[in-house]
A and B are shown apart, each in its own frame.
Chain A
Amino acid sequence: MILSVENVSLAFGGVKALREVSFDVKEHEIRAIIGPNGAGKSSMLNVLNGVYHPQQGTIRFQEKTFKDMDPHEAAALGIARTFQNIALFKGMTVLDNIMTGRNLKMRCNFVQQAFWAGPARREELAHRRAVEEIIDFLEIQHIRRTPVGRLPYGLQKRVELGRALAAEPRMLLLDEPMAGMNLEEKQDMCRFVLDVNEQFGTTIVLIEHDMGVVMDISDRVVVLDYGKKIADGTPDEVRNDQKVIDAYLGVTH
């Protein structure tokens, strides 16, 4: 069990985004969080990553328990993520964006960097090598020097995945990685997600609306509706659960 969410509740003023949600994630698995719009999925991811602090409940990640974690503490612990509305650095190239994902692994201070020759140069080249491997993996070599702002949406999402991978995370949080993609792009993205899971053993928690994708690639699924967990199990179990069907069809309850 790499991650365990216990009784997490989150509210914004009067709006209850999450109500006593509990679930766990096994190491090396692909866990999907699904639910109708407004169910609290992104909020849940934000809690896992330290962007939001729940009023109630705890999160246990790799033996460490916490409630009030900062995002960069989460990053230091090995949790990386992508965002629903691409949070890339639009003024920088693809290569530079992915290199920023290595920032926690860089040890040289700014004085060494200013003088370049020696430790700073060695470190930069070593990390460049690692990043190039990710670029190869994601098949984006041809755009490595393009400013990210000029890329089409699908490629930007891929670069964002690259940046998250550059951190060599233990757990990867993906917020709607396939949103806005056509069929081919989705297939590519699925392949990358599966490869990451298989080759690097990274645990993956993803939010996704495309049911086909969810059923195909995830090991287990959590279903949220109005901030509450209404189902938890394998894709097949969840697909046939009446409560889930009702939630999506909008049956009042």
Chain B
Amino acid sequence: MPIEVVFFIEVLAGGLLAGVMYALVALGFVLIYKASGVFNFAQGAMVFFAALTFVSLVERGWNFWLALLVTLAVMVVLGLATERVVLRPLVNQAQITLFMATIGLTFVLEGLSQLIWGSQPHGLELGIPDVPMEWLSQKWNINISQFDLFAAFIAGMLVAVLAVFFQRTRIGRALRAVADDHQAALAVGIPLQHIWAIVWAVAGFVALVAGLMWGVRNGVQFALTFVALKALPVLLIGGFESIPGAIIGGLIIGATEKLAEVYVGPYVGGGIESWFAYVVALLFLLVRPEGLFGEKHIDRV
């Protein structure tokens, strides 16, 4: 195969896989938004907190699986505490108020993480090396990282499980009901508090998975919180309430960003990854204000 095509495929694949990683973080947002109508800006900080807790435990000699379990428990407790302290008092407020509360939460989590565990960066190993897949590179000369593929696989599994959970199970249906209309859900006997607790726990779990994947890739350091910012364009494109939307949005953003960086970047001096994803999302929104899979908002007067 000609070298340009190979290069293109590598860039594209890299972009798609990066997009899957973004989608992992976006999933956390979608879950919480779907079930409580809250846009949880603190998702990035949760990812960071999860990764940092896990890594710190492992570095202190804890067993891998034990650390994982304990971190998961911590995330669940964190989610419950958030629901209790931040969300419950604000239950009837405008969405924007809840959003700003989660911004406050972000700062609290960032400060707390570093206060407890310190602020040095940590490396993270999960046993899967970041080297090209052998048979791809040998047969077709294409280099695609093994780890990226593993992360994509995990993300895919997570999405499938969550999609089934929401569509098929009783709890999933309850979650969707709650997202639609709190009062109505209460009226049919759905225990609001429990539901929210479950949702935040699941979101915490997703944050942990995302934290681990990203931690391996970029190291566990404060900059991890900015990954969440990258998930925002993903949500804009995929819609805030759609699990498949998060994946597709992620793929689109990841691919276009990587391609732009490599092919367009050199002409404008590079560094366009900082804003390209946002501009893409912005242009997308102008055409479809509610995203690909989001629900149209109709204002009735």
Contact = CB atoms under 8 A, between A and B. Distances in A.
Contacts of A85: 300-301
Interface string B81-123: 0000000000000000000000000000000000000000000
6 contacts: A46-B301, A51-B301, A83-B301, A85-B300, A85-B301, A87-B301
A83 B301 CA distance: 7
Interface of B: 300-301
B93 to A, nearest CB: 13
Interface residues of A, number: 5
Interface of A: 46, 51, 83, 85, 87
Contacts of A87: 301
Leading 6 A-B pairs by shortest Cβ distance: A87-B301, A83-B301, A51-B301, A85-B301, A85-B300, A46-B301
Contacts of A83: 301
Contacts of A51: 301
Nearest to B300: A85
B289 to A, nearest CB: 19
A56 to B, nearest CB: 23
A85 B301 CA distance: 7
A85 B300 CA distance: 9
A87 B301 CA distance: 7
B300 to A, nearest CB: 8
Nearest to A51: B301
Contacts of B301: 46, 51, 83, 85, 87
A85 B299 CA distance: 12
A80 B300 CA distance: 18
A54 to B, nearest CB: 17
Nearest to A81: B301
A122 to B, nearest CB: 34
Contacts of B300: 85
Contacts of A46: 301
A46 B301 CA distance: 9
A220 to B, nearest CB: 26
A147 B120 CA distance: 51
A51 B301 CA distance: 9
A184 B135 CA distance: 85
